[in-house]
C-alpha cells in the first residue's frame, strides 16, 4: 500500500534549514578539509523534527543519518555537533580510500 500521507520526501538541507546547513559545511571544512562539493546533505521533515542525511564518497554512496528534534536543530545542540564530527571522520576516511583507489598503480 502506498499512502502519500506516510511518504517522507527528502529535501536539500540548504533550503530547509540554511543555518544548520551552513554550520555543517563550515565545521566539515574547518576541521576535516571537506568541501561542500564533497558531500550532499538532505533532510526528511517530520512533525517532531528532521532526519539529516549526509552522503559522501565517490558517487555519494556512503551516508550517515540521524534524527534531531526541532529544538536541537534551532539551538545546534551538542548531539548535532557530535554527529557532524563523527560524520567528518567517516567522510575523511572514505575520501582518502577513494583517492588511493583512483591513483594506486
Is 27 in contact with 88 (CB distance < 8 Å)? yes
| pLDDT for the residue numbered 58 | 85
CA 7 – CA 59 distance, rounded (Å): 25
| pLDDT for the residue numbered 7 | 57
| pLDDT for the residue numbered 4 | 46
Is 1 in contact with 62 (CB distance < 8 Å)? no
| pLDDT for the residue numbered 105 | 67
pLDDT per residue, tens digit, the chain (105 aa), is 444 444 578 999 999 999 999 999 999 999 999 999 999 999 999 999 999 999 998 889 999 999 999 999 999 999 999 999 999 999 999 988 888 777 776
Amino acid at each position: 500500500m502506498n499512502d502519500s500521507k506516510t511518504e517522507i520526501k527528502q529535501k536539500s538541507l540548504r533550503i530547509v534549514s540554511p543555518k544548520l546547513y551552513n554550520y555543517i559545511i563550515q565545521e566539515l571544512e574547518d576541521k576535516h578539509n571537506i568541501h561542500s562539493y564533497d558531500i550532499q546533505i538532505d533532510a526528511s521533515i517530520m512533525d517532531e523534527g528532521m532526519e539529516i542525511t549526509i552522503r559522501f564518497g565517490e558517487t555519494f554512496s556512503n551516508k550517515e543519518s540521524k534524527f534531531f528534534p526541532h529544538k536541537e536543530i534551532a539551538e545546534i545542540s551538542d548531539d548535532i555537533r557530535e554527529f557532524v564530527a563523527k560524520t567528518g571522520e567517516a567522510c575523511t576516511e572514505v575520501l582518502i580510500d577513494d583517492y588511493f583507489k583512483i591513483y594506486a598503480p
